[in-house]
Amino acid sequence: MHVETCSIKTGGSFSPASLSTLDSEETLVLLFGAPDLIDTPHRIREVVDACPRSHVMGCSTAGEIHGCEISDNSMAVATLRFDNTPIRTAQAAVHSPHDSYAAGRAIATQLTQPSLRGVLVLSDGLNVNGSELVKGLNDTLGEAVVVTGGLAGDGTHFKRTWVLKDRTPQSGYVTAVGFYGDHIRLGHGSKGGWDKFGPERQVTKSIGNVLYELDGRPALGLYKEYLGDRASGLPATGLLFPLAIRPSQAEGKVLVRTILAVDEATQSMTFAGDIPEGVFAQLMRANFDRLIQGASEAATLTFDHHNGSYSDSPTLSIAISCVGRRLVLGERTEEEIEATLEILPKGSRQIGFYSYGEISPYKSGACDLHNQTMTLTTIAEH
């Protein structure tokens, strides 16, 4: 496998020849870029036109990651030419959250083959219910196929996201690439680092990813009590205080959910993934050192899927971290990117983005939707 990465800044120079040397039918081009590129797609076109035979995937972000650098208004690009791994791309419409399960099933059906080993998914970040998308994928693919990825971002605006469909940025779609055969090596790790606080409350009224009541009280009003003065900045300030949910008070597995929208009329909150009735929910807040430690632990987890070591082949790490982590960490955000590279093999390339949701197995097996985590996918061949 051959890997090249670059960061293309707005107004900066770009040489298409640097990408075209890896162009082939078994080449994957990944592009993570600024939300407003949907209005000025000529910059994206320069990249994809340099690789006419390659498979292309990408999405909008809440910040682009290249190496140890985090940028806005740029493009982070990786080009991977596989030596022994066939790849195939798929796409499905997700114009509203109600389309999410069907989109997951459609993507999985397009990619399913006996030799399928892994799937990388990039989805519109606002029109989707990430939990239902993941359920559609899992119900079709089962636990033997590694599924990772993330939901596109739009900074802290929550108005419009895009993915690359037919080589152009478009809203309302899910895209994916499948990796086939026994030469591909896919690692994954996902960790948070948030601390729970306040009482644990039961979800007494919800529909899908919309939460109406906790312990019989209007959810938005209760949530605002905790936010205090920060409540006026919702939904963006909600990124600083996600919810931890678990099926029962005896259940150890905890998933984190982050807010996408609030509705004053119904006193409800819309989350990136499902908040089922009956689950227990608890507020979370940041612990700076534990957030950075979580990123390091995510990198360490990838070793479990490479049998504790990596081959001599080049390794690409795709880092997908939640926008809420970036808001909390502020000037320390690059520390979590540096923490992942310190663990990964020397010489690893890394690109990624800040997202509205992360897709990865909890530890192993079927994938889950996560929020407020650092999620890594490592790709290598042997």
Q: What is the rounded average pLDDT of the residues 301-319?
A: 74
Q: What is the rounded average pLDDT of the residues 127-145?
A: 93
pLDDT in tens, 53-63: 999 999 999 99
Is there a contact between 156 and 326 (Cβ–Cβ < 8 Å)? Answer: no
pLDDT in tens, 225-237: 988 888 998 888 8
Residue with tokens 């994957």: 28
Query: Sorting pLDDT into bands at 50, 70 and 90, what band is 88?
Result: very high
Q: What is the rounded average pLDDT of the residues 75-101?
A: 96
d(CA 176, CA 119): 7
pLDDT in tens, 89-128: 999 999 999 999 999 999 999 999 999 999 999 999 999 9
Residue 187, H or E segment: strand 184-191
What confidence score (pLDDT) does residue 250 get? 77
Name the average pLDDT for the chain. 91
Q: Which amino acid is at 137?
A: L
d(CA 290, CA 276): 28
What confidence score (pLDDT) does residue 169 get? 98
Query: Sorting pLDDT into bands at 50, 70 and 90, what band is 193?
Result: confident
What confidence score (pLDDT) does residue 302 get? 86
Residue 364 has pLDDT above 70, yes or no: no
Residue 379 has pLDDT above 90, yes or no: yes
More confident residue, 305 or 211: 211
Closest CA relative to residue 355, chosen from 155, 163, 195: 155
Query: Sorting pLDDT into bands at 50, 70 and 90, what band is 276?
Result: very high
What confidence score (pLDDT) does residue 205 get? 98
Residue 309 has pLDDT above 60, yes or no: no
For residue 13, give both structure tokens. Answer: 């120079």
What confidence score (pLDDT) does residue 237 get? 86
What confidence score (pLDDT) does residue 247 get? 87
Residue 307 has pLDDT above 90, yes or no: no
Q: Which amino acid is at 234?
A: L
What confidence score (pLDDT) does residue 165 get? 97
| 17 burial level (CB within 10 Å; 0-12, 13-18, 19+) | exposed
What confidence score (pLDDT) does residue 180 get? 98
